Structure 1
Amino acid sequence: MKDNEKNQVENPETAGNEVQPQETQTVPKAPEKKKRSLIKCLIWLLILAGIAFGVTKIVKHCQEKRAYECYDEYDEDEPDDDIIAYKNNIMNIVNPLTQEVIVKDIDWYRGYESRKDTIVLFAKNGKRGYCNVVTNKVIVEPTTYTKAWIFSEGLAAVEKDGYIGFVNADGKVAINFRFPYRGNSLYEFVFHDGHCVVADSTNKIGVIDTKGRWVIQPLYDEIELAKEYAIAYKDGDFKKQIDYQGNILQEGIIDNINNLYYDVTYTDLTTGEPEVGSMKNNNFYEYRVGGNSGLISSSGKFITRPIYKDITGLSPTLFVATLQDWYSTVIIDEHGNVVSAFEKR
């Protein structure tokens, strides 16, 4: 008995091991509880702050997405962000210097064609308006027009009852509503060097000046503006270079020229078997203009007008030409004469 007691006293490691389990089961002191509670509170605050930040970003993204999806499709530049201020996730137009609010709660905005124009186009409740970010004035209230374009060279196009007119920097109609709105096929309505492309009542397009006068008559289907002239195109015809006095400077303008190939049969020298290959036609080419095709010789002579949708080679002097319906085809010879016609099966 004494020996056992002596062993217990003389073996301190054993005694220590017996005490340790009791120490790990002790209740934490009050300061440790407070510390853990504080850490939990900080974690929850960080989580809530992250959620709030995320919601703000989502709201702003949705607002920008709504603005992007709502605005009309035409040529425009977005002005500097210093004319826009957000408050409670509401977009406002402000003076870039004083930050004074000019228009509250807009859907979207579009800005200057050049820095000479200080008038901003905006949309609000489905209508279009204009404001001057220098004078702080709304020059056209967003109550009348459902489509409008940016200012350029002191004028801006607006649509009313299916027709396009132009307003000036005072918001007054400067060019009357007499040009039909044709949708995305003629979407720009912006003046460049004093000229703008518009349509007439026959749905053909021409060019007007800043007074609304025709400088190129509305006879064409497509027009591209340059500084000193325009390139005008009528479907099934060549493009023309026309100056702004209405003079034709050059006719017979095309877009590009493509090689033509036709199939030939030859004997493979290795196998002795007949093979089919392609031979390039060095005497005739397909030319393209405005989405149509025609036949031209290697000497530059136009064999046909650009009245086909596509031309492919059949032989050195025969060609397959696809008509405007993209279905029917004809065979033409080297003089442009129709040899035979048939429909694709």
Structure 2
Amino acid sequence: MKKLVLLLVVFAVFSVNAQELALANKDGKFGYITKTGEWHIQPKFKRAYSFSVDYAIAFEGKKVGFINRKGEWVIKPTFDKVKSFDSGIAVVLKSKRWFYINTKGEEVLTDVITDKIYDFKNGVAFIKQNDLIGLIDATGKVVVTPKFLKIKKFVNGYAKIKENEKWGLINTKGKYFVKPIYDAISNVYGGSITAKIGETHGVIIAGEFKAMEGTQKIWDFSRNEKITYAKKNDKVGFIDSKGNWIVEPAYDKVRSFKNGLAPVCKAKKWGYINKAGKVIIPLQFRDAELFSTDGLAPVKSAKLWGFIDKSGKEVIAQKYVITTGGLSLFKKNTEKGFINGLARVKYKKTWGFINTKGELLNDTWFINLEDFK
């Protein structure tokens, strides 16, 4: 019986910690709501940001600290500026000095030698010495000696690096994934990479560059699809990860495939095609976004957005603003439309969440609102 009670307590604590919360502004104060639309943390902060894992940045007066998912101060607001936690480390500014702290608010990694303090991402942080960039891990150990002219942020475990005026890719251990021999290179999505040598665009297959002659531009591959779009003769189509055209370049603009369909534009009208290039929803909209896993996509015929299903039927009227933006300090998720059954929308001058039936969550509008984290 005692074991059962203990398990229930542990589960309850885990549920609170794991619960996604959305930052909301009500009457000029910030708090956090649950997916029922109820307040989980009452609106009491003058300024705050969305949660990053278990911590959120919040202000008290002009000072800033960190709260947990119960709304409790875990690191008191004594700093002038802070960055989000990653791998248990955050970068903070106090008395005109930047330094690292742990989740207890204690200064750490004091032996790190760097001309500039960078925040951690994916378990590593940049260090800078004599205008060259390297990497340290969360213990302060140097994993890449400063030798690169530039290192871009890590995406899916890899970062673009510049060495001797050429670009390549490294992993978080500092090992070359693609040697720096290219004039431009993309991030890695699903193992797919695009690159450029001189004015020639192409894809990298098993470490080898495959040129796509005549191609003017290739965009990064999608996170979930081994398909991207490319431009040739001033028109855009789609290629696979091997550099084969799967939809010939015939459109003025396109967006990525998601859930089997991609928005495409010709003569300023948007519609949707499948991966065979067949038009599934006729080109008729002023703008169109990707289909979500909920089977709905944002479209607009004039200034405001509504939602259609995969047959092209309008299921939610065009009366909302859905433009990404708002309160987040670090905007990672720029997806528009429905995410896990809810869409963040603006109606007139207030924000709320609607479900796939167009019903307003908890019948409540807010001054501003962020996605669930």
Indicate the structure with greater strand content: 2
Bigger radius of gyration among the two: 1
Larger helix proportion, structure 1 or 2? 1
TM-score greater than 0.5 by the shorter chain: no
Instruction: Indicate the TM-score class for this superposition, using the shorter chain for normalisation.
Output: 0.3 to 0.5
